[in-house]
Chains A and B, each alone.
Chain A
Amino acid sequence: MTVLSLLSLLFLAAFSSLASANSDYHESLVLQPLPQSALLASFNFQSNDSQASFDERHFRYFPRALGQILRHANTKELHLRFTTGRWDAESWGPRPWNGTKEGGTGVELWAWIDAVDDESAFAKWITLAQSLSGLFCASLNFIDSTRTTRPVASFEPTGTHAASDNLHLLHGTLPGEVVCTENLTPFLKLLPCKGKAGVASLLDGHKLFDASWQSMSVDVRPICTQTGECVVQIDQSVDIVLDIDRSKRPRDNPIPRPVPNEQLVCDTSKPYHSDDTCYPLESTSEKSWGLSEIFGRSISGSCPLTEGSTDGTVCLRVPHEREVRATEGAVEVKKPDGYTRCFTLESSTPFDLNIPEQEATTQVPLDEPVLRAERTIVGHGQERGGMRIIFDNPSDTHPVDFIYFETLPWFLRPYFHTLQATITGRDGLRRQVPASQFIKETFYRPAIDRERGTQLELALSVPAASTVTLTYDFEKAILRYTEYPPDANRGFNVAPAVIKLSPAGGGGGGASHPIYIRTTSLLLPLPTPDFSMPYNVIILTSTVIALAFGSIFNLLVRRFVTAEEASAMRAQTLKSRLGGKLVALRDRVKGKTAKTE
């Protein structure tokens, strides 16, 4: 099977531009129809500025706002991700860019910061997060010490750094952050053409955020060539998976009402088929779609800054025999792999693509994912629970080696002595095996309450054709009354785990680059008080306990004596004897009057 995958194509595009250019700008859009009427659109914008001009604060393609932040925070390399939804690897195949340009749900940020020691690195990190928070209108300022980790093996710098630099890697995630248009607008503003021209003109918030899955990334890295020439590269990308049916609905009538009776596609071969009975027929033909239909607008010409790039801006991955209608004037180049064709845009003419409905004969083959991972919380109750992580190696021949990295909030207290592994072969038999059989190395940094979360990095190896399940138990901490968020009963987000497949592990396209997979984020229900009535409850229970305890205790410990005994006992004491004398004396002096009631 010699199919050049989508990923390798993307990489090819990225690295060809990298090699050929310094101080230039390049943008591309790759469209690939996916099964179940989905369409993957990968936008990529890359620009380089020379390190010298960057140091002199002379910004050409590099956005000034971001450049100033990076300089201020001593940040050498920056990666920022905004992601929503989940990648359906079962239907859609491997991830775009091998997962290197996506984050976990919400916002993920990691950076290499140049600082003398850990404290100053952390201070710079906070500066960076706060500044980016303002720049991208995201709650990045909530990345504090409890959400910051220092991964050991999961991330490697992608740029070239001088050995003299004292670099610190810091990583933070906000799994609960909702990514929306307020993040897209500043993102587009960083582009040289600002979304007015070039492929970026397709990026409309309404369509973008109606996608099934969507990821925005910003990567800044210094790159030096062999000759010693250094550039600062900013690489922005937007990857979205659109539902073609949904995107084609007109904006003024977006409700998926039941179709009129005459438009139903029925299986007329069924014996019971009639006017009012319809067994729906699965359509085998591929749906028609066009750029303006799906994105609501067409590309308004190429960005004038992308001069000199020859290898097409818009690429489409459909079989060559598929009919594609492009706007007149665009140059179409069909690649030899049989599935890719690229179009080069004219600078001023709008560009549109239309793909008519056609019976599907061949499909663009999708690679099998190298590893499937699933992480869920099991158990129930307010006190404790368990984490279950399933790694499935679909390959029948190769074991897969990877780094598993997870950060847990401090209020989730894992017990790693309960870490257990089971392995299930293709025969479906579950066997309990020692976890050390799969775990080659462990890096574990326990949590400190209210200061930092748990950090766990495991180097794992899953044998061929088997599924490994790791489980461990955890305990849920009880938060202080004021530490609960307003929606405490929703549960607390636990950041997705990051899996880094080492390049040697094989699979995928770019053998020299790692593959990243992220699990879905989790919702952890914590014990929550009834916020509306703590005082009522406290007062009521205290009263009841005081009353019940008091009276029962009294009953149980008091010694019951008769009145005679009591008076006899009282008569014994000196005080009462004196008292008795006094009373007698008083009575004699006053003369005892009639005793009144």
Chain B
Amino acid sequence: MATPAALPPLPFNPSRVRSYILRLPLFTRLVLLAIIVFWLLELQTVWSVKQWGSLIPEEINIGTMYRLNTYPFIHFGFFHAFLNLLALTPLLERFEAEHGTLTAVALFFGPLSTFPAGAYILIERFVLHRNTEVFGASVWVFLLLGSEAIRTFKSNPYFSLGPYKIPTWTSPLFACGLVSIFVQNASLLGHLCAIFVGYLFGLGYLKVFVPPEKVLRWIEGKLNLLGRLPHYVSVDQKTFGRYGVLPTTTAGGERATPMSYLGSSQRLAAIRKLRSNPHFLFVHLPHILSFLCIVAGVVWLLLLPLNDYSRQTYISENALLPGQVHAYFSGSEQHIFRGYKKELEAILERQTPSEQDSRNDEFTPAVSDKVQSILRAAGLKVATQNYEYTSSGITHQGQNVYAIIQAPRGDATEAIVLVAAWRTADDELNLNGVSLALTLAGYFKRWSLWSKDIIFVFPPDSKSGTQAWIDAYHDMQPAFVQPLPLKSGALQGGLVIEYPFDHRFESLHILYDGVNGQLPNLDLFNTAVSIAGGQMGIGSNLQEMWDHNDSYEMRLQTILRGMVKQGFGYATGAHSSFMPYHIDAITLQPKGDGWQDEMALGRTIEGLCRSLNNLLEHLHQSFFFYLLMQTNRFVSIGTYLPSAMLIAGNFTIMAIALWLRTGYYIGSEQTAVKLPTVSAGETNKQVAVSTEKSGANTAQQPAVKTDSNSIIERQLALPLTLVVGLHLLGLIPLYIFNNINHQYYPTATYASIAINAILPIALAASLTRGLTTTPREQSQQSLLIKSFSLLVLGLFLSTLATLNFSLSFMIGLLCTPLSFVNRIDPRTASRPLRAVLAVAGLVLLNVLSPPVVLLGACRYVGVDVETVLTQAAFGWDVWGMWTQVVVWCVWWPAWVTGCALLGFSLF
């Protein structure tokens, strides 16, 4: 055996925990495994393990006696299982080490689970006449605690607490009491039964059930269990239990039997081999960890829709009092609504087509004047604002009309906004919505209870109008947007009314996503759902989920739709523009064909305005970061964040590992080759794995040359320059895709695909040719390039996860192959093989390049690339959308680096 090369200490010393876990005896392992398996089984929804196996007093009959044995394996959730595992492992390990595996099997499948169960059923069913089901390994925990306590009592009868002497056997009772106080649903009776049986066992009354030693020894000998089963604890070993015969010299000699010595030395050797095997620690372990992080991140997200991880929504701000007031908007107001609608309709019809064409919206001066006159007649203060935006060569212009109801005794300190855009978010004519807002303006004006001003805004469209208005409201408007002549105070909330059709509606669809994935306070959404559902009897939907049956699939689909919208960060409606200014806003869209009319929508809005009017402070109580899966269920940031963080963490882990590897690890020896290779790559990552393998092999070669593995100097200049340069280079496509005319977008996309294919190879070629370094330095530098690139990626994504979880998650997933690609070293693979591998890898990576992903997504959804990119440029120019920056300055540089690393292999 060669000398161990490097023995790098790890930041923590896992060997103790590890050796403890590796030394766990057989039966303990099996029990732990069974508990975990049952917990995993419980995650599916088809077959209820709990119903099948738990101890339900009424269900016990001859056919279901198996429950007496199965109930300790079943738990109701991760924490229950985890805590019980933690508590059970040392106790059970000790028991088995003392009594031997066979005895443990006999006892734990026999009296030690059936007796407590029997006692529990007797008391529960026949004395208390109840039917509480119990399950969980805590029964064994308490049983073993009980027997241990009796043993302690024999040697050490009392605790002395001042003048009082407390018998030690009572300690499990205290523990049991504490558990039932602190843990919900802990069955006190079940635990007491277990402790009672534990006492009996400790006092030796249950010895009759222990199989005779002779029999055991016979079985053991016949079956050669000791030889066949790993981690088996023999009957003979039980005499050396901790409380058995004290080890004498003879016992010590006996203990050093070849068999046990062999076992322990094998384990030791395994650990030593691991520690002395830096190749595993630095090359394989990071890959395993990274892969585990990715899998855990995805699985975490998939767990979120479960009831255990999501929560019921609730109104956090007491002042809102949703639905506590009667809404009076009805009766003759409907006649006025129809009057306004007919009036506006007449004007729209009268418009000449030429006027219509030149404006590309309904908002001609005639319409604007009519709206203003109606609002003025109702006694509101009216003003207008012209704006003009130019993006991708398209000019968006229009005129916002807005009016303010000044709160009767208010002082223009706070205000609520109601928006009715002429064009809805889906670009339909919102005639009913505008008429409704006009009617509500007149109706609200008559009330004297408003504590906040109410502002009615009538923008011509849902995309740019509100943005221009809200920018000007905060005096942040660009040059082509007029300032507002009339203002009020700090905006407390916004509601957008849409009603683009003439028939009655069935339910309300609530849009809540803001620009850059910002969300309104959950209280506002909850208030809308609660007023619509609780007071008006109108159902509500979200994320276009029309038939939500609250199943796991539907919940997951809702979450994913929300994440896609959040990740893209575009404005989903007129309300989105309010979010960057910390103004909570939602859009209410009537959907379906039912029996609710516009007055019901009006009453809902009246109720919402009354609730917002009640606010004493800005909405701040509830969550701003959440994922909604149903109108009444959500996951908060604390629960979902680890998912994206794990994915971002995978890059950081790999980056740190690569950094360590470049500095300390050059030499190795052949022993490492025997180690299992990385199982990280799945079928689609075959290339990555193969490159990795070869990369790992190459790293071992220099050991032949270097006699010692001294610390080598890292050549930082080139990697740093390259990574920083690539990130800066990302500004060029960012500029191009936001500033050229919209008709060139498809061309630009295809051009960028072509450039993406060539650029990494050209980069690799020029770097390889231009540098006269030794192959070893080249290999180090390629590792350093990857390390820096992944480090930046990991940092960006983990920071982004706190701001826009969905975007970070999506980019993280798309970047996962980058953790595993590497340069194929020329010394391990022949040139043709390298070329084939590298080209295959490049092709696969090119499929995941930003423009190709964009094209693929567009094809999948069925929209035009030009439309998408025009919208994106509009978002950048008008809404201040940051998605492109993340794509071009974070994702794209990392991707180019990954491709360039593969490209190095070609030369």
User: Which residues of A are interface residues toward B (Cβ below 8 A)?
Assistant: 36, 84-86, 88, 90, 105, 209-214, 243, 245-246, 255-261, 263-264, 266-267, 270-273, 276-280, 282, 374, 376-380, 386, 388, 471, 487-491, 493, 520-523, 525, 528, 551-552, 554-555, 558-560, 562-564, 566, 594, 596-597
Contacts and interface: CB of A to CB of B under 8 A. Distances in A.
B331 A379 contact: no
B3 interface: yes
Interface stretch (B176-184, B539-547, B616-624, B732-740): B616-624
* B-side interface size class: 35 or more
A272 B346 contact: yes
Nearest to A277: B338
Contacts of B412: 86, 520
Given A258-B333, A378-B475, A551 B408 contact: no
A555 B5 CA distance: 19
A246 B7 contact: no
B428 interface: no
A552 B11 CA distance: 8
A380 B474 contact: yes
A374 to B, nearest CB: 7
6 contacts: A258-B329, A259-B331, A278-B332, A279-B340, A378-B474, A471-B475
A286 B215 CA distance: 112
A263 B336 CA distance: 12
B551 to A, nearest CB: 34
A374 B487 contact: yes
A378 B252 CA distance: 84
Contact of B328 (A213, A255, A487, A594): A255
Given A85-B411, A280-B339, A523-B413, A379 B474 contact: yes
A36 B617 contact: no
Contacts of B475: 376, 378-379, 386, 388, 471
A277 B334 CA distance: 8
Which 10 A/B pairs are nearest by Cβ-Cβ distance?
A378-B475, A279-B339, A489-B617, A256-B446, A278-B335, A272-B342, A258-B331, A277-B338, A563-B7, A490-B617
A490 B616 contact: yes
Interface in B396-446: 406, 408-414, 442-443, 446
B264 interface: yes
A245 B446 contact: yes
A213 to B, nearest CB: 8
A264 B617 contact: no
Given A212-B408, A379-B476, 20 more contacts: A36-B379, A209-B409, A211-B409, A212-B409, A246-B448, A258-B330, A264-B336, A277-B342, A278-B332, A278-B338, A279-B336, A280-B336, A379-B475, A380-B474, A471-B475, A490-B617, A562-B709, A563-B4, A563-B7, A597-B264
B405 to A, nearest CB: 12
A86 B411 contact: yes
B660 interface: yes
B205 interface: no
Interface string B470-506: 0000111000000000010110000000000000000
B7 A562 contact: yes
Interface in B337-389: 338-340, 342-343, 346, 377, 379, 381
A520 B331 contact: no
B12 interface: yes
Contact of A491 (B8, B411, B490): B490
A520 B411 contact: yes
B9 interface: yes
Interface of B: 3-9, 11-12, 252-253, 256, 264, 276, 328-336, 338-340, 342-343, 346, 377, 379, 381, 406, 408-414, 442-443, 446-448, 474-476, 487, 489-490, 580-582, 616-618, 620, 656, 660, 664, 709, 711
A209 B340 CA distance: 34
Nearest to A471: B475
Contacts of A280: 336, 339, 377, 442
Nearest to A551: B11
Nearest to B475: A378
Contacts of B336: 264, 278-280
A282 B377 CA distance: 7
A521 B411 contact: yes
B252 A596 contact: yes
A490 B709 contact: no
A38 B181 CA distance: 66
B11 A264 contact: no
A510 B598 CA distance: 54
Contacts of A261: 331-332, 335
A270 B339 contact: yes
A85 B343 contact: no
Contact of B339 (A210, A263, A278, A558): A278
Contacts of A272: 339, 342-343, 346
Contacts of A493: 413
A16 B339 CA distance: 54
Contact of B413 (A264, A378, A520, A554): A520
Nearest to A559: B711
A391 to B, nearest CB: 14
A522 B410 CA distance: 11
Given A282-B377, A596-B252, A260 B332 contact: yes
A258 B328 contact: yes
A564 B12 CA distance: 21
Contacts of A246: 408, 446, 448
Contacts of B12: 551
Contacts of B580: 380
Contact of A525 (B252, B487, B618, B664): B618
Contacts of A84: 409, 411
A522 B414 CA distance: 9
Nearest to A175: B411
B413 A522 contact: yes
Contacts of B9: 558, 560
Contacts of A559: 711
Contact of A554 (B11, B377, B408): B11
A566 B409 CA distance: 81
A84 B407 CA distance: 11
Contact of A560 (B8, B334, B413, B476): B8
B344 to A, nearest CB: 10
A276 B335 contact: yes
Contacts of B448: 210, 243, 246
Given A211-B409, A555-B660, A564-B3, A488 B332 contact: no
B256 A258 contact: no
A286 B234 CA distance: 107
Nearest to B343: A279
A594 B489 contact: no
B802 to A, nearest CB: 12
A522 B381 CA distance: 20
A277 B339 CA distance: 5
A471 B476 CA distance: 13
B140 to A, nearest CB: 28
B439 to A, nearest CB: 10
A433 B5 CA distance: 76
Contacts of B333: 258
A377 B618 CA distance: 16
Given A276-B338, A277-B342, A278-B336, A258 B413 contact: no
A88 B406 contact: yes
Nearest to A247: B448
A270 B408 contact: no
Contact of B411 (A105, A245, A379, A564): A105
B339 A488 contact: no
Contacts of A388: 475
B506 to A, nearest CB: 23
B410 A86 contact: yes
A487 B617 contact: yes
Contacts of B664: 560
Contacts of A522: 413, 489
Given A523-B414, A562-B6, A594-B252, A270 B342 contact: yes
